Chains A and B, each alone.
Chain A
Amino acid sequence: MQVNIRHKGSVTILDIEGKIIGTDTLALKKVIDKQLETAPEGKLNLILNMARVQMMDSSGLGILVASYSTIKRNEGRIVLLNLGGNIRSLIVMAKLVTIFDRYDTEAEAIASFL
């Protein structure tokens, strides 16, 4: 798994590529935690771009859920961008569709923070 970090205004975008499984889930958690640490007053506006994520396991889902709770507690927001069929199915299966806001374009995702 690889993660590219971009910033657009007050929004942080993580472009994730590969499979979020096994030890990669902890690597993703570290990246998100680092962004939380450096966000102004801990308030993180985060977009996870999942366009190039082939697969994610339950540990990966756990990281998303834990990040959702932490970011929300600090009055930030986490949204998902470009969910492919596999990841979309996983989110639906785990009944997390009502938890995460999802967008199909980066412009829409960024606009949701304004």
Chain B
Amino acid sequence: MGEQVITLSLPSSMQHVSLLDVVITEILREMNFAEELQMQVNLAVIEAGTNAIKHGNKEDLGKRADFQFILSEEKLTIIIQDQGPGFTREDVADPLDPANLLKSSGRGIFLMEECMDSVDFEAKGTIIKMVKYKETPDPEEIR
């Protein structure tokens, strides 16, 4: 199978997170990812979608959150783009710091990075590119 590209463009309403969930769930099932990996990617995509819609686009219905799913034999690449001002990854506090453990927010980026094989932030954080391999890759293969 060569690469297949699926795109999804959502108005920035949190109501649409469930639609994003349906799409990524079906893609992962179609690609035959192991069940545990399906849950990890599913969670990372929900986090990235929430990040784009809520924090990036501030739930402005005039702005869109765009998703590109690139399916190949060995991996799934997901590119998420929002129309917000962006952010600096280094400015996001560590949610595992004891001082932050009881905070009610700030875990999304951390969970994305934990669940995916790679997560890269481009264009001031308005574009996030995430990759998950179906089999655990050698560290050198990830980038």
| Residues in A lying within 8 Å of B, measured CB to CB | 19, 21-24, 55, 57-59, 61-63, 65-66, 68-69, 85-86, 90, 93-96, 99
Contact = CB atoms under 8 A, between A and B. Distances in A.
Contact of A58 (B14, B15, B17, B111): B111
Interface of B: 14-15, 17-18, 21, 36, 39, 42-43, 46-47, 50, 95-96, 101-105, 107-108, 110-111, 114
A58 B103 contact: no
Contacts, number: 65
B101 A95 contact: yes
A57 B96 contact: no
A2 to B, nearest CB: 14
A94 B94 CA distance: 11
Contacts of B103: 62, 65
A57 to B, nearest CB: 5
B125 to A, nearest CB: 17
Q: Which 6 A-B pairs have the closest CB atoms?
A: A22-B17, A62-B104, A58-B107, A66-B104, A58-B108, A57-B46
Nearest to A64: B104
A28 to B, nearest CB: 13
Nearest to B15: A23
A55 B102 contact: no
29 contacts: A21-B46, A22-B14, A22-B21, A22-B50, A23-B14, A23-B17, A55-B42, A55-B43, A57-B46, A57-B47, A57-B50, A58-B105, A58-B108, A58-B110, A58-B111, A59-B105, A61-B107, A62-B105, A62-B107, A65-B102, A65-B103, A66-B104, A93-B114, A94-B95, A94-B110, A94-B111, A95-B96, A95-B101, A96-B101
Given A55-B39, A57-B43, A94-B95, A68 B102 contact: yes
A85 B38 CA distance: 13
B18 A21 contact: yes
A95 to B, nearest CB: 5
B105 to A, nearest CB: 5
